Amino acid sequence: MAVKARMEAVLNVGLRVPSIMLLEVLYRWDVSSFFQKIQRSSLNNNPLFQYKYLALYLHYVGYILSLVLLTLPRQHLVRLYLYVLTALLLFAGHQLSRDYVRSELDSGYEGPLYLEPLSMNRFTTALLGQLVVCTLCSCVMQTKQIWLFSAHLLPLVARLCLVPLETIVFINRFAMIFTGLEVLYFLASNLLVPYNLAKTAYRELAQVVEVYGLLALAMSLWNQLVLPVLFMCFWLVLFALQIYTYFSTRDQPPSRERLLFLFLTSIAECCCTPYSLLGLVFTVSFVALGVLTLCKFYLQGYRAFMNDNTMHRGMTEGITLLILSVQTGLIELQVIHRAFLLSIILFIVVASILQSMLEIADPIVLALGASRDKSLWKHFRAVSLCLFLLVFPAYMAYMICQFFHMDFWLLIIISSSILTSLQVLGTLLIYVLFMVEELRKAPVENMDEVIYCVNGTYRLLEFLVALCVVAYGVSETLFGEWTVMGSTIILAHAYYNVWLRAQLGWQSFLLRRDAVHKIQSLPMASALQLQQHNDICAICYQDMKSAVITPCGHFFHAACLKKWLYVQETCPLCHGQLKSQSQPANAAPAPDNPPPYSFNIKPPQLPFTAQTHVHLLRSWLPMIGPGKSWCTRVCVRLCRIHACMHTYTHKYFEIYVCTVV
């Protein structure tokens, strides 16, 4: 059953690819220029080319037929292709008969076949071919009435009966007419089938819309047609044809420098229509999904597929490519301009993929550093991927700087790669600190402050880059070319990348400042109080040589309680409010009888890093911010470069052509 389901899924996609290919051809076909060429040729007197408006109507009819083929149910689509295949087989059979009759006329021999070896060979070859055609037609149409597909055998039967050659020519024409009448009869008998299908489809669609709504209908069609996979297959076929055309017309293989130019121009040729652009978008999304899946598998093995993250589906990269292409008018440019612009867009998409890989690797690397896992292979995989994410974005930035002169606009373009490398460097630094803490079996002093400074430095640099992009975008909007899409993206960028980041950073700073003030306002426990308490810190499960006392009478390490206060302002045990006012100096000591939730029995002590890792992560949450949807992620990555794209394209086009071409 699994194999059958896979075959049905392959047929569901493969049989619909020609309909999109037809849409692509119809979009590229310029009817007006076609008729201008006809008028300058010898076909101008042909009555078929006299009615231009009829051809225009046929052009739109082609669109309708393509859409019908695209939306047909799989069963009817398979049946339609079988009918088309049968028609092609019948045409091939008549071609064989015509070639045989022509060869017999050229030879001029009308005697018995067995007396002429060449004539016998021609007859045997034609007969075998015709029998194969008849058998295939019978199998395709699933009928035992093989005589329905045997009309093209009449010239062979006549030749076997020693009929004159002139009569055989007439019999061949009669066989063609008879087959044509059969096809017309079949079409006439099934004339109402399209109407019945349309009526049934309309009734089902109306019921779905009435019960579930238009959104459910759109999602149902999206899933049934498998549009992402369909457009990806269509684009890959288009790209393969483009590559094959190039190499079939070249005698010598291209050089290494020309390979990059060939790759870009081939992609540019395959995204000159809305259909091919959608195909490229879905192809990039699937490539990004494959890279991110390999990244997860490399880090976690098969466990990565148990807790799959819906944030990393390749959707961000595809939507980024689509918005940039629409914003810059990619399909309206010439091929060489389109290839240049694609080089910049693909650079941004690759930088976005690397950023997504870092988002996958960052928590895994930090968890390995804070855990007791001693597997060297896991640590090697995590560190090696981080080193790759450290070096490769820097290499990308270096390579693009080799093509263009360094200025402010180029710095904005490569800012994503530079920030990725800086963030990886910070992750590796925190990982090293965790490993040092694990080897020492004791907490590193001011670890939280170091982590806060590392993350804060990266966030500050990212905020400054976002602020520069907003400033330039506003200046371009006010003094340069104004567009609705550009202004919308500037507003989204200013909200998500500037305003929200500034709010999160300021809230994080206030939380840390208030936590420090509250810890300083709490009294320190004396040695006698610690001896009477005789318990461990309820946060880190470690012995307490020094502690602070909360207003509710609980003892904690000052550093542990400070990390807790970064998250919430209540006691970790009783959840009572911790006020920042200082208690009197003669504060009452802790009661001798501990409350019911306090235990003198010490649980088994675990390494400090394993127990405090959760609290450390909680203390970083104000710096990381809440999880972002794919829409927010697109705005965060897209808006860094949109403002300078138009200026950058026109400024460096001549340098690109001189360097690459």
Q: Catalytic site residues?
A: 537
Task: List CB contacts of 9: < 8 A, sequence separation 6 or more.
Answer: 226
Nearest CA to 299 out of 194, 242, 373, 395 is that of 373
Residues in the chain: 661
Q: Phi, psi (5° rounding) for residue 536?
A: -100, 170
Which burial class, exposed, middle or buried, applies to 199 when counting CB atoms under 10 A from its CB (0-12, 13-18, 19+)? exposed
Please count the other Cβ atoms lying within 10 Å of the Cβ belonging to residue 319.
Answer: 20
Kindly state the tokens that stand for 61: 């009819």
Alpha helices by DSSP H, 29-73: 31-39, 52-71
- Residue 341, amino acid: L
Contact by Cβ (8 Å): 279, 238: yes
- Give SS3 for 50: coil
Burial profile 450-464: b = 16 or more Cβ within 10 angstroms, e = fewer? ebbebbeebbeebbe
Rounded Cα distance, 361 and 427, in Å? 9
Nearest CA to 580 out of 564, 565, 590, 567 is that of 565
Contact by Cβ (8 Å): 657, 340: yes
Assign 3-class secondary structure to 362-428: HHHHHHHHHCCCCCHHHHHHHHHHHHHHHHHHHHHHHHHHHHCCCCHHHHHHCHHHHHHHHHHHHHH
Nearest CA to 537 out of 447, 598, 618, 448 is that of 598
Please count the other Cβ atoms lying within 10 Å of the Cβ belonging to residue 595.
Answer: 12
Contact by Cβ (8 Å): 474, 457: no
